[in-house]
Amino acid sequence: MALALSPLSQVCKGIRAYLDGEINAPDRSKVSVLLATPAESASAGAGDSEHRLNLFFYRFEPSGLFPDTLPGETGWLRTFCLVTPFSAEEDSVGAGENDLRLIGEVLRIFHEKPVFQLNVDGEDYHLQVIFQPLPLDQLNQLWSTQGDTLYRPSILYEISLAPVVPVEKAVAAPLTGGFGLDVRATLERRESRVAGRLPEVPAMTPGIAREDWAPAIAFVHQDICAFSFSFALGSVELAAFTPRVWLAGKVGESISLHWETWDATNGWQSLLPAGAGLIASSGIDPEAAAGAVTQALTLPFDDRVGQMLFHAERSYTRASDGAVLSVRSNPLLISLYAG
């Protein structure tokens, strides 16, 4: 029975597959890209005319970052890979020159694209490939572990950060909508006009002259701008609340609207887009909230304790390379608590 795939093995296989696809592009010689020790790769192809490129992941270290990572959260590793060619003589080109050709191709590929994306357990992660020096003493120690295998020219890369994905993931904590201090002259209780409307919303005007400008958004309720609201379940305030969002940016541009929800069982989950919004204002001025052009929203739920995070998103094509990118607005938060 085969062992189950681990996140680390998926990363190593993904890097092998990436190099395989780049080196064996159309109109190029066939090269077998292997995951093995140099000794295994050398003995596997002894006496044949096949070109082989071996990836030997031999060292793994803590990332040195994220010291407060909990057991149920994704961990991160720095991985080190020794890349060694085992080329054959071909036509008038000797094996030694073919080794250099293969090493040169690896150097070119990772120099041109040092950051790439891999899918691990259904989630996409970005990894960076960093060329590392290999001192002579370390080189000698490493090859001395490979038995009678003769030394071949090699290069060393650090590939970081590799994810360590737990099977049972920790549930992410809820967010804080805002907090503050209220000083009063008397001890008499005074109800706020709208519950949970801290922090105050500043005036916001997106810089649409930049191609990567992000929309600005705010809730408007009872002629008041807010970034967050909190309501007790079953309260009159919640029953009377209809979320309305003020969208600001380039007037007339369409953007997509998104909800994320949180509860104590499942943590944060993304929902399908809540639809499209049309920007009608160039900026947000809290003093002019009474006359704002807003768009009504539907709460994802109102029958249980939890939180709802809302944001707007726009896509644009970057002029420099034609890449299609997305930018997000500031987030808005609604919290429901047990009354």
Q: Give the model confidence (pLDDT) of 95-142 as tens digits.
A: 888 889 999 999 999 999 899 888 888 888 999 999 999 888 888 888
Mean of pLDDT values over 13-23 = 91
The model's confidence at residue 170, banded by pLDDT at 50, 70 and 90, is: confident
CB-based burial, 163-200: b 16+ in 10 Å, e otherwise: bbbeeeeeeeebeebbeeeeeeeeeeeeeeebbbbeee
The model carries a pTM of 0.62
Q: Give CA–CA dist 239/138, Å, rounded.
A: 69
What is the DSSP pairing of strand 51-62 with strand 31-35? parallel
Identify the three-state secondary structure at position 138. helix
Contacts (Cβ under 8 Å, ≥6 apart) of 291: none
* Tens of pLDDT, residues 143-157: 888 888 888 899 999
Average pLDDT, the chain: 87
Neighbours of 328 (CB within 10 A): 14
pLDDT at 243 over 80: yes
pLDDT at 329 over 90: yes
Q: Is the CB of residue 262 less than 8 Å from the CB of residue 174?
A: yes
**Mutual angle of helices 95-112 and 7-23, in 10-degree steps:** 110
The model's confidence at residue 302, banded by pLDDT at 50, 70 and 90, is: very high
Q: What percent of the chain has pLDDT over 90?
A: 50
Which residue type does 61 have?
A: E
Which domains are assigned to the chain? 7-42+50-164 (3.30.2000), 216-337 (2.60.40)
Q: Which two tokens stand for residue 242?
A: 């209809």
Q: Is the CB of residue 192 less than 8 Å from the CB of residue 180?
A: no
Token pair 């309305």 in the structure block, residue = 244
